Amino acid sequence: MKNQNALDRLKTIEGHIKGIEKMVESEQYCIDVIRQIQAVQSALNKVNAMILDNHLNSCLITAVRGDDPDERERVLKEIAEVYEAATRV
């Protein structure tokens, strides 16, 4: 998996969250805190999309092209579960 880009983004997000913690501790204006939280959520969504794209273009394709029908079914079921969980959020 192409982890480095995702890891770099996650480290940036971690720093951003620490900044939000400081904002809350210093009782910054609520709307400013909310905007920063929304920025982190957006950044996490981007990392999620990157990892999913990588999965679809590696693990899923390998399973679909493979000879094991149980593996194909398992991987497709995982994708369906991830999609279902995402639509509940």
Number of C-beta neighbours around residue 55 at 10 A: 16
The Cα 47–Cα 8 span in angstroms is 10
**pLDDT for position 3:** 84
**pLDDT for position 83:** 87
**pLDDT for position 36:** 98
**pLDDT for position 48:** 94
**pLDDT for position 88:** 84
Q: Walk along the chain (89 residues) and give the pLDDT tens digit of each residue.
A: 468 999 999 999 999 999 999 999 999 999 999 999 999 999 999 999 999 999 999 988 999 899 999 999 999 999 999 989 888 86
Tell me the CATH number for domain 3-88.
1.20.58.1000
